[in-house]
Amino acid sequence: MIAVDVGNTILHFTWIAQGKIIKTRQLATGKANREAIKRIIGKDINQPILACSVVPHITRVFKNIKRKIYIIGKDIKIPLKCFYDKRHVGIDRLVGAYAAKTLYPESRIIIDFGTAITFDFLSKRGDYQGGFILPGIGSTLRVLSSCALLPDKIILRKSKTLIPKDTRESINRGIAEGFSVMLNALVKKYKRILKLSAKDKVVITGGDAKFILPKIEFSYQYEPFLVIKGMVILAKKFSPQ
The catalytic residues are: 92
Query: b vs e for 49-63, b when ≥16 Cβ sit within 10 Å of the residue's Cβ?
Result: bbbbbbbeebbebbe
pLDDT of residue 229: 93
Query: If the chain, 241 residues long, is cut into consecutive pieces of 10 residues, what is the mean pLDDT of each piece?
Result: 92 88 92 92 86 93 88 91 89 95 95 94 95 91 76 72 83 90 96 94 93 93 94 78 48
What is the spatial distance between Cα 139 and Cα 150, in angstroms, rounded to a whole number?
Answer: 17
pLDDT of residue 49: 92
pLDDT of residue 113: 94
CA 82 to chain centroid:
18
Q: Catalogue all structural domains in the chain, each as residue range(s) with its CATH number.
A: 2-71 (3.30.420.40), 96-226 (3.30.420.40)
DSSP 211: G
Number of H helices, E strands in the chain: 6, 10
The answer to whether the CB of 49 falls within 8 A of the CB of 41 is yes
pLDDT of residue 195: 95
- Cα–Cα separations (whole angstroms), residue 180 to 18, 44, 162: 37, 44, 15
Which residues neighbour 193 within 8 Å (Cβ) at sequence distance 6 or greater?
Answer: none
What is the spatial distance between Cα 148 and Cα 192, in angstroms, rounded to a whole number?
Answer: 39
Q: pTM for the full model?
A: 0.88
Total count of residues recorded for the chain:
241
The answer to whether the CB of 112 falls within 8 A of the CB of 118 is yes
Give SS3 for 215. Answer: helix
pLDDT of residue 239: 59
pLDDT of residue 149: 66
Give the DSSP H/E element, type plus range, for residue 133: strand 128-135
The answer to whether the CB of 49 falls within 8 A of the CB of 2 is yes
